[in-house]
Amino acid sequence: MSASAKPPARSGAASAIGWVLTIGLNVVAPILTYNTLTEDRHWSEFSALLLSSAWPVLDTAIMVAWRRKVDEFAMVTLVFMVITAVVSLVGAHTARALLVKDSSVTGLFGLLCLTTLLAPRPLMFYFGRKFATDGTPASTAWWNDKWQYEGFRSTLRTMTLVWGVAYVAEALLRIALAYALPTKTMVTLSPVMIYGALGVLAVWTAWFGRRRAAEGERRQAEAAAVARAA
């Protein structure tokens, strides 16, 4: 199947619903759950944090059920959810230890990004395909066929490198803050840092992708002009 010049149109409503669910279940719900359990129910900080972490798992399950398939993006998310659950249950059972373990998981994500630079296709290739297509065979083929272009390959490898370094640095900073700040402060600050870093990286990725696409179009136009002149 040949790739089309432009990606198939996506549903703006579906994308908006997806982002609302993501923010609600990964940021708002965990904070409200923790505050309710520790202040009103008098749960221990560790138990409240552990239960609050169930909301992101629910988010992943909803997304998988919504798309009715488990793609590479979902597989990576599910693997990290399992790692988070396992890590949270080993070692010291304190709120600070759980925060440090949670930060370590995002650091592992950064290391995974860097490791996939040695693979045939970097991690951002699969993440890009999830967010740039609607999952249909036509849109998936459009994205896969773009891998033949050197500029596309170098762009995704650069993006993967930046994401990897950024998340390793973010994890190290959150681990340091977990020891320097009160647990209640970190419960609010931690998801803000995670999704703040995600927001910054998303904006940079969109800008960098547009710039590289414009450069590619310019080079194609110059090559076409030279060919016509010849």
What is the spatial distance between Cα 2 and Cα 124, in angstroms, rounded to a whole number? 22
Length of the chain equals 230
Asked whether the beta carbons of 134 and 15 are under 8 A apart, the reply is no
At 128-161, the pLDDT tens digits run: 887 777 667 888 888 899 999 898 999 999 999 9
Q: Which pLDDT score is estimated for 135?
A: 65
| Pick from 128, 207, 194: nearest CA to 160 | 128
Q: Quick check: helix, strand or coil at residue 16?
A: helix
What is the spatial distance between Cα 129 and Cα 140, in angstroms, rounded to a whole number? 7
Q: Between these two residues, 107 and 9, which has the higher pLDDT value? A: 107
Q: Which pLDDT score is estimated for 125?
A: 92
Contact partners, residue 127, CB within 8 Å, separation at least 6: 73
Is the torsion defined by CA of 74, 63, 163, 86 positive or negative?
negative
Most confident listed range (41-50, 166-175, 221-230): 166-175
Q: What is the separation of C-alpha 172 from the centre of its chain, rounded to a whole number of angstroms? A: 18
Phi/psi at 5 (nearest 5 deg)?
A: -70, -30
How many CB atoms within 10 Å of residue 86? Answer: 10
Burial class of residue 151 (count of CB atoms within 10 Å of its CB; 0-12, 13-18, 19+) = middle
The structure tokens 């609010």 sit at: 188
How sure is the predictor about 19, in pLDDT bands with cuts at 50, 70 and 90? low
Q: Which pLDDT score is estimated for 2?
A: 39
At 189-201, the pLDDT tens digits run: 887 888 788 889 9
How many CB atoms within 10 Å of residue 225? Answer: 10
Average pLDDT of the chain to the nearest whole number: 78
Q: What is the separation of C-alpha 173 from the centre of its chain, rounded to a whole number of angstroms? A: 18
Instruction: Write the secondary structure of 96-115 as one string of H (helix), E (strand) and C (coil).
Output: HHHHHHHHHHHHHHHHHHHH
At 28-85, the pLDDT tens digits run: 777 778 778 776 677 776 677 667 777 777 776 776 676 665 555 555 665 666 666 6
- Identity of residue 40: D
Based on C-alpha coordinates, what's the Rg of the chain?
21
Inter-CA distances, 76 with 71, 134, 219, Å = 9, 18, 35
Mean pLDDT score, 110-131? 89
* pTM for this prediction: 0.67
Q: Which pLDDT score is estimated for 195?
A: 79
What does DSSP assign to residue 136? -
Asked whether the beta carbons of 102 and 190 are under 8 A apart, the reply is yes
